């Protein structure tokens, strides 16, 4: 496999997401420090997969599939 084909990506995942509601929360991280976050909620008829697709889109995850399998790219903030 050459260098170019190693990073070649094709296609995107299909399927719908769902509407999300968010609620701001406070939680503790692995060091016991309080941090802010979000609680995501989906309407009852939504499936787990639809909710995961919607969360990934909300968080800016770029994902797809190629001959090597599924991939996801997440930018550092």
Higher pLDDT, 36 or 2: 36
pLDDT at 3 over 70: no
Q: How far is residue 31's CA from residue 33's CA, in Å, rounded to a whole number?
A: 6
How far apart (Å, rounded) are the C-alpha atoms in residues 76 and 57?
Answer: 15
* pLDDT digit string, tens, across residues 33-75: 999 999 999 999 999 989 998 998 888 888 888 888 888 888 8
Q: How many CA within 13 A on the CB side of residue 41?
A: 8
What's the rounded Cα separation, in Å, for the pair 29 and 37?
A: 10
* Strand ranges, E, within the chain: 21-28, 34-41, 62-66, 69-73
Domain segments of the chain as ranges = 3-73
């Amino acid at each position: 496999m050459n260098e170019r084909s190693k990073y070649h990506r094709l296609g995107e995942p299909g399927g719908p997401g769902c509407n999300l509601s968010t609620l701001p929360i406070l939680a503790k991280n692995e060091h016991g420090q309080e941090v802010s976050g979000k609680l995501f909620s989906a309407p009852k008829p939504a499936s787990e997969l639809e909710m995961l697709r919607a969360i990934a889109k909300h968080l800016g995850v770029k994902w797809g599939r190629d001959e090597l399998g599924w991939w996801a790219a997440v930018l550092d903030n």
